[in-house]
Amino acid sequence: MTVLGELRKSLVDTLEELGAISRFLIQLILYAPRALLRFDLIARQVFDSGALSLVITMLSGLFMGMVLGLQGYQLLRRFGSEDALGTAAAIGLVRELGPVITALLFAGRAGTALASELGLMRATDQISAMEMMAVDPVRRVVVPRFLGGVIAMPLLSVIFCVIGLYGAQLVGVQLMGVDSGSFWSQMQAAVQLRDIREGLTKSCIFGIACSLIAVHQGYNATPTAEGVGRATTRTVVRSAVVVLFLDYLLTSAFL
């Protein structure tokens, strides 16, 4: 096959994949209102996805905040504006790092768990068994997991930001000696509602993207050990690329 032929095939495959995932998303959205009536199923998935990612989200938030505190302090000191550290850390965390890093962590932890769980359900005939029991597996299994991920992501992002701010404060105020009053008051004055709205919008959209990729890969996994492994890997890789791409688009849109 020529290079041109391979490129064409690759393009066609990508478009087919995009079409399939779009159809899947529409199906999930159409099923979502009825799924909300059984909120216990969704609540369980919020707990599963959220609890799975909570510890790494909190730890990563703390370290991210500490690094921001350190780097921010070194940079701002050059201009004699260390007091703006709180503002810099808060804006960076709320608008950018919180949603993006939480989404990447979610994809690596909860996303892979979702994909492998659904893939194994297919490999062990649990999906077929549901179909045989006249239960639609998309409604019963996929939609609650998808909605659980969509709800969990903004919550995790908020936790990441709060812990991150504590980390920045820990380094900036406690270690580097930035004035505590300036740190908090400048942050309070500079961070506006639109910053928080931008961060929350991003994390909601990232939640939809990461959960969609995970459930789509898992539900359509080839029912073998290799197939489930491939679905899990694809979940992480595609989620990471899509999150960074969407982040650029959303940041442009909010500017």
Partner 1 sequence: MRYAVRGRAIFDGLDVDIAPGRITAIMGPSGVGKTTLLRLVTGQLIADSGSVLVAGENIGELRGEALYALRRRMGMLFQNGALLTDLSVFENVAFPLREHTNLPERLIRQLVLTKLEAVGLRGAAGLMPAELSGGMNRRVALARAIVMDPEILIYDEPFVGLDPISLGVIRRLIRRLNDTLGLTSILVSHDVHEVTTLADSVYLLSGGTVAARGSPSELQTNPSEIVRQFIGGLADGPVPFHFPAPDYFDELLSRSGPR
Binding site for partner 1 (CB under 8 A): 120-121, 124-126, 128-136, 140
| Smaller CB separation from partner 1, 75 or 129 | 129
> Which is closer to partner 1, CB of 46 or CB of 158?
46
Least CB distance to partner 1 at residue 140 (A): 7
Residues in the chain: 255
CA–CA separation, 154 vs 71, rounded Å?
Answer: 26
> Considering the complex, what minimum distance in angstroms separates the CB of residue 116 from partner 1?
12
In the complex with partner 1, which residue's Cβ is closer, 13 or 125?
125
Q: Min. distance of Cβ 204 from partner 1 in angstroms?
A: 27
Which is nearer to partner 1, 4 or 132 (by Cβ)?
132
CB of 15 to partner 1, least distance (A): 23
- Tell me the angle at which helices 112-123 and 39-78 cross, rounded to the nearest 10 degrees: 150
The nearer residue to partner 1, 38 or 197, going by C-beta atoms, is 38
Token pair in block for residue 215: 């459930």
Least separation in angstroms between residue 195's CB and partner 1 is 39
CB 224 → partner 1: shortest distance, Å? 14
Q: Which residue number, 84 or 221, has a Cβ lying nearer to partner 1? A: 221
